[in-house]
Amino acid sequence: MYSITHAVECDRTVMTEEIASTEDNPKRQQILDGARRMFLEHGFEAASMQDVARAAGVSKGTLYVYFDSKEAMFEALVLRECSRLQDTVRRIASGSGDIRDELMAIARQMLAALLQPEVLAAMRMMIGAGEKFPDLARGIYEAGPMRSVHTLADYLGRRARQGDVDIHDCDAAAAEFLDLIVSGLQRRALLMMPPLSPQMLDAFVAQRVDRFLTGRLATGSRPR
C-alpha cells in the first residue's frame, strides 16, 4: 500500500514540476476539450472524472494535476469561452468609430456567441446543477455575465470620456445594454423556440441599440 501511494505521489510531484499551470498550456486545453465533450454528452452530474480523463486521452493522475474537481473544470470551460468573447468585444470596441456602429457590432458578436447550441446546452446544464452547486453557479455568473458587464462598462467609460455619450454609471448602463440585447433572445433559445431570421435579428439589434442610446448620446452626436 505504501509503495503504490508513494509512487502516485512521486508521479504527481514530477508532473507538477514539469507542467506549467498557465491557462494556455496545451495539456490543460486538451483536458478542457475532453471535459467539454463529456459534459455536453452526459451532463455535468453524470460525467465522472474518469470519463473526462478517458475523453481527453490522459491519465487520471494527470487530470488532477490541473483540476481537483469537475466544478473546477466546468468553471474553467466557461471562463475560457467568456474570455474569447470578451477579447472579441475589446477588438470591436476600439472607441474610434461611430458608437452606434460599434455597439451594433458588439451586440451581433455577443448574440452569435451566446446563442450557439453548445453554449445553450451548457447554460441548461448549469441551470439544472446550480441549486446543488451554488458556489459553482456563483463563480460562473462572475466569470460570464459580470465580466461581460465590466468589459462593456470599460468601453462605455472610454466613450463617455471622449464626449460621445452622457453616461455616469457605466456598470449600470452596460448591464442594461446586455439585458436589452441578450436576455429575451437567450430565453427564447433556451426554451427551444425557433430562432429569428437574419433580417429579423438585424432589425431587433438595431432597435435595441437605438433604444439604449436614446437620451445617452452627447450633444451633436445622433444615431443615423
Distance CA 190, CA 213 (A): 28
Max intra-chain CA distance, the chain? 78
pLDDT confidence band for 83 (50 / 70 / 90): confident
pTM of the model: 0.75
- CA dist 110 → 5, 69, 70, 145 (Å): 48, 29, 27, 11
Contact 186, 115 (CB under 8 A): yes
pLDDT score recorded for residue 13: 41
Distance CA 109, CA 71 (A): 28
pLDDT confidence band for 140 (50 / 70 / 90): confident
Q: Is the pLDDT of residue 16 over 90?
A: no
pLDDT confidence band for 17 (50 / 70 / 90): very low
pLDDT score recorded for residue 23: 59
List the alpha helices (DSSP H) in the chain. 2-18, 26-42, 49-56, 60-66, 70-92, 99-114, 117-129, 134-141, 147-161, 170-178, 184-190, 198-213
Q: Is the pLDDT of residue 218 over 80?
A: no
